[in-house]
Amino acid sequence: MATSKPDPTPRADARRNRERMLDAAAVVLSRRADASLVEIADEAQLSRATAYRHFADVESIRAALAEEAEAIGRDLLRDKLARLYADDGAQVSVLDEILEILQAALPLEHRWTAVISGQPVHDEGLIKTFAPMARAFLLRGQGRGEFRDDLDLDVVSEGLIAITMYAVRRVHSDGLAPERALSIVQPYLHGLTRGARRPEATG
């Protein structure tokens, strides 16, 4: 006796409804940071019951948008990092690779960048996600003699991501040109290079 296959439509509908909620959140939260889940559901033209099936509150929507940003960033970094570690001949400057990544990342627009205008700064999750990747770049640079050997890579990596997130916000919240936003991060990076003056110990 043949068994019937489950209808895939409900699952597809659920995915579409979730996407509609995220699209609506990008619109509503870009206008007003304290918008409610009901307002987002109205923008998405979905019922409240449908909205609550996908998201418990607005913070869970923000978390979902941040996860999207993390996925985009990981894709951007993964290939660069693999290329860098495969380049045994040191033909690629680590500093240049980082700057190239920043040039590509700063102007990127997606749903998360639409909602950061006027939002409280909660970048801890993004810092936690990207700091290990930044550390891998800096460690490679140390191994090649590009970056100072006295760096606390854990601290410096978190600092690099935090400054980068600030630059991203300046681009997408304040309309700062990506080229100018890059100049926010460049002094920090150049301060890590071997030729930079090391800070004097205090105390």
Q: How far apart are CA 33 and CA 55, in angstroms?
A: 17
What pLDDT is stored for residue 119 in this prediction?
61
Tell me the two tokens of residue 123.
Answer: 């970048």
Dihedral sign, CA of 13, 16, 17, 18?
Answer: positive
User: Which of 8-22, 27-41, 116-130 is predicted least confidently?
Assistant: 116-130
* Residue-averaged pLDDT of the chain: 85
Q: 155 near 162, Cβ under 8 Å? A: no
pLDDT digits (tens, 9 = 90+) for 125-171: 788 888 998 999 999 899 889 999 999 999 999 999 999 989 988 99
Domains of the chain: 1-56 (1.10.10), 62-190 (1.10.357)
**Confidence at 1, pLDDT banded by 50, 70, 90:** very low
46 or 203, which is more confident: 46
Query: What's the N-to-C CA distance of the chain in angstroms?
Result: 83
pLDDT digits (tens, 9 = 90+) for 180-199: 999 999 999 999 998 766 55
**Confidence at 47, pLDDT banded by 50, 70, 90:** very high
Averaged over 113-119, what is the pLDDT?
A: 69
User: Which of 100-104, 190-194, 198-202 is predicted least confidently?
Assistant: 198-202
Q: 173 near 116, Cβ under 8 Å? A: yes
The maximal CA–CA distance of the chain, rounded, in angstroms, is 83
Amino acid at 188: Y
Averaged over 8-31, what is the pLDDT?
A: 86
* HSE-up of residue 175 (Cα within 13 Å, Cβ side): 0
Q: 70 near 105, Cβ under 8 Å? A: no
What pLDDT is stored for residue 190 in this prediction?
94
